[in-house]
Amino acid sequence: MLKLARYLKKYLKEVIIGPLFKLTEAVFELIVPLVMAKIIDVGIKNADKPYILKMGGVMVLLGVVGLCCALVCQYLASKASQGIGTDLRNDVFAKISSLSYSKLDKFGSASLVNRIISDVNQLQLAVAMLIRLVVRVPFLIIGATVMAFSINAKLAVIFVVIIPLVALSLYLVMSRSVPYYKRIQKNLDGISGIVRENLNGVRVIRAFSGQEREMERFGKAANTLMRENIRVGRISAVLNPVCYVILNFAIIAILYFGGQRVYDGSVSQGDIIALVNYMTQISLALVVFANLVVIFTKAGASAARVNEIFDETPDIADGEGASEVEGAPAIEFRNVYFDYGNNGEYELSDLSFSIAKGETIGIIGSTGSGKSTLINLIPRFYDAAMGDVLVDGVNVKEYKLEELRKKIGVVPQKSSLFSGTVAENLTIGNENASEDVLKKAVRIAQAEDIIERMPKGFDTFIAEGGRNLSGGQRQRLTIARALVCEPQILILDDSSSALDYVTDLNLRKAIKEETDNMTVLIVSQRAAAIKSADRIIVLDEGRIAAIGKHEELLKTSDVYIEICKSQEVLN
């Protein structure tokens, strides 16, 4: 948690002033038993009604001032905790956004969502409790003990004996419960993952009547979480009763030994009541302390999970910036190797080829041959393990990421749209795009009919993930979104799989005719979709099996011939 203490600097005023107000409230709280003792020993003993009313007024005044101090502290604690939570959440999100695909894969999306929401919420609570109670609780315990000694040193020895016993109970209980909190957070990650999978794949689950299976899977995860919570709950549940038993014995001891001293006149009745009140204050403070330990234990586990994100070193960082080399190929691979796990098992091996500007390249291969992996190296979603990837004659590692990715328009396999209007989705990469640019991109993407049928055209609202659109509509709009950026390089990663052959043909024809010298890479499983490309790269188990035109490959590449035979594309 100390690593995250830097977030307190911005709210240093609240962190300092808040506890001071709470400390003032605690001082008034410690004075109340003394006032009560005076009421008993002077007012009630002498039947002095004016004195009783006067001291009663003092008690009310102490209570009102203490309440005002508590409210001010509460306000400052809320302001600081919410502010720190917001700053922390923004920084975590920014860090997540800077991580490469490989780092995101390492954590998993469900775990990242939990860390930015649940774990940060736990840290917010810890900050609020830090301001409100961390100073007040020990001050009350120490202050009540000191006040007890000021009343009667012999009876105050009971406080000295009892407090270590309660502290030992706290230690024994909390030391056994701490390990459970980390496991609980991991179980929450698991449940979040199951929920996310079910929401994303709800149509598939229902199509295969898998609701019962998924309910059983969720039930197992929920039961595991329940068992962990019950275990830690059983341990924590022991704490309050044990503390109260010890403290009640202390009160009995005060009444027993104090009663004897009342008879011999060494202690007054008011003093006994004051000592009992101080013991009660200590008991309540220790219970609050126990809850604080739980809160900070959870916060410690959450802080460790948040720091794991902050400690993750981005493996893809901005270069210093570069200028393209005149006359260089649009894209060039030089002896490129790549493996996802950095374990020497390469998904891509020894790739070398170049693509001229304005050239249309088809990339084909069997499932798992490395097609998507290859094109992910161009915008630096991943970095090559060995070799060089160049864009306009410059190694992609020398570009600033924003500069590099502005050159490239990527249409991924999975069509991703966001909740908002059509225009907001299309202009994600080019917020200043004019309506003419939007219309041109939509026309090239064969999506004009989609916009025309929409009730509000470009201002029509799209549901989260584009759920109110068909698969083909989503694909055409994501292609239009990439074209709105007016990129120099357009990558279509199997992004026309939901389109019929006529629409797909018109799309490729429009891209060729209506874009100005744009380099186009088309990744596809269908030979018919790429056979008209200027050249075709055939991949086989992460290696280049052949490069050439459709007609040439039908004569020279066994891998390509086999693909075409299976799809009956032999002309």
* 247 and 286 Cβ atoms separated by less than 8 Å: yes
CA distance 94 to 112: 12
Q: Which residues contact 205 (CB under 8 A, 6 or more apart)?
A: 198, 211, 214
pLDDT of the residue at 538? 92
Give the tokens for residue 345. 């098992």
Identify the H or E element spanning 365. strand 360-365
Which residue's structure tokens are 């490469």?
A: 100
Helices then strands, counting H and E runs in the chain, come out as 20, 12
Give the β-pairing of 348-355 and 408-411. unpaired
CA distance 336 to 349: 6
pLDDT of the residue at 133? 85
pLDDT of the residue at 571? 63
CA-closest candidate to residue 506, choices 496, 516, 492, 520: 496
Give the β-pairing of 408-411 and 489-493. parallel
Dmax (CA) of the chain: 119
Q: What secondary structure does DSSP assign to 400-443, as a single string?
A: -HHHHHHSEEEE-SS----SEEHHHHHTSS-TT--HHHHHHHHH
Eight-state DSSP code of residue 446: T
Q: Which residues pair with 462 in a beta bridge?
A: 420
pLDDT of the residue at 387? 92
Q: In what order do the strands lie in the sheet with 519-523?
A: 408-411, 489-493, 519-523, 360-365, 535-540, 543-548
CA distance 297 to 508: 59
pLDDT of the residue at 343? 67
CA-closest candidate to residue 194, choices 212, 221, 165, 224: 221
CA distance 18 to 74: 8
Stated length of the chain: 571
Q: What secondary structure does DSSP assign to 149-187, as a single string?
A: HHH-HHHHHHHHHHHHHHHHHHHHHHHHHHHHHHHHHHH
CA-closest candidate to residue 335, choices 346, 348, 351, 324: 351
The sign of the torsion formed by the CA atoms of 364, 365, 368, 369 equals negative
Residue 238 has phi, psi (to 5 degrees) of: -70, -25
Residue 346, SS3 per DSSP: coil
- What domains lie within the chain, and their CATH numbers? 2-182+234-311 (1.20.1560.10), 331-567 (3.40.50.300)
The per-residue pLDDT for range 117-152, each reduced to its tens digit, is 888 998 999 899 888 888 888 888 888 888 888 888
Residue type, 249: F
* 56 and 5 Cβ atoms separated by less than 8 Å: no
Which residue's structure tokens are 């390492």?
A: 106
* 262 and 268 Cβ atoms separated by less than 8 Å: yes
Burial class (CB in 10 A: 0-12, 13-18, 19+), 49: exposed
Give the β-pairing of 360-365 and 519-523. parallel
Answer whether 0.75 is exceeded by the pTM: no
The per-residue pLDDT for range 164-198, each reduced to its tens digit, is 887 788 777 777 776 777 678 778 777 877 877 77
Q: What secondary structure does DSSP assign to 16-76, as a single string?
A: HHHHHHHHHHHHHHHHHHHHHHHIIIIIITTT-HHHHHHHHHHHHHHHHHHHHHHHHHHHH
The sign of the torsion formed by the CA atoms of 9, 13, 17, 18 equals negative
CA 246 to chain centre: 42
CB atoms within 10 A of CB 13: 11
CA distances from 43 to 23, 38, 53, 136, 262 (A): 29, 7, 9, 31, 18
Distance spanning both ends of the chain, measured CA to CA = 66
* 538 and 506 Cβ atoms separated by less than 8 Å: no
List, for the chain, all residue ranges whose pLDDT scores fall below the cut of 70.
1, 178, 182, 200, 203, 341-344, 570-571
Give the β-pairing of 386-391 and 394-395. antiparallel
Tell me the angle at which helices 136-151 and 12-38 cross, rounded to the nearest 10 degrees: 30
Residue 47 has phi, psi (to 5 degrees) of: 55, 40
Give the tokens for residue 502. 């006529």
Give the tokens for residue 368. 């798992």
